[in-house]
Amino acid sequence: MSCPHQPTCPDADAVDREAARMTVSFPEQGWSLLCNGVIIFDDTGELLPDGNIVAPHRGPAPHARFVAAPAA
C-alpha cells in the first residue's frame, strides 16, 4: 500500500501503526480503516492487512492509574 501523506504513515507492521491517518470511518459499526490498511475497532482491537489479529489492548482506566498513598 502506498501512502500519499507527508510525512508518510507508519506501515501496518510498525509499532506505531495506529498513528496512520484514517481513510474511512464507520463509527456506527465500531471500526475505521487506516491509510496503512489496518482496521481498528472501537474496543482497541485491530485487523492487520495480512489477516493477523491484534487483541484489544486498552490500558487501565484513567482513575485506576493512580493509587492514593495510605494515610499515616
7-51 tens-digit pLDDT: 899 999 999 999 999 999 999 999 999 999 999 999 999 999 999
Compute and round to an integer the Cα radius of gyration of the chain. 16
Label residue 70 by pLDDT band (50, 70, 90): low
Contacts within 8 Å (CB) and 24+ apart, 36-41: 36/1, 36/3, 36/9, 36/10, 36/11, 36/12, 37/1, 37/12, 38/12
The pTM for the full model equals 0.75
Q: Residue 72 pLDDT more than 90?
A: no
Query: How many other CB atoms are there within 10 angstroms of residue 46's CB atom?
Result: 20
Label residue 64 by pLDDT band (50, 70, 90): low
32 versus 59: the higher-pLDDT residue is 32
- What pLDDT does 60 receive? 65
Pull the grid cell for residue 11: 506501515
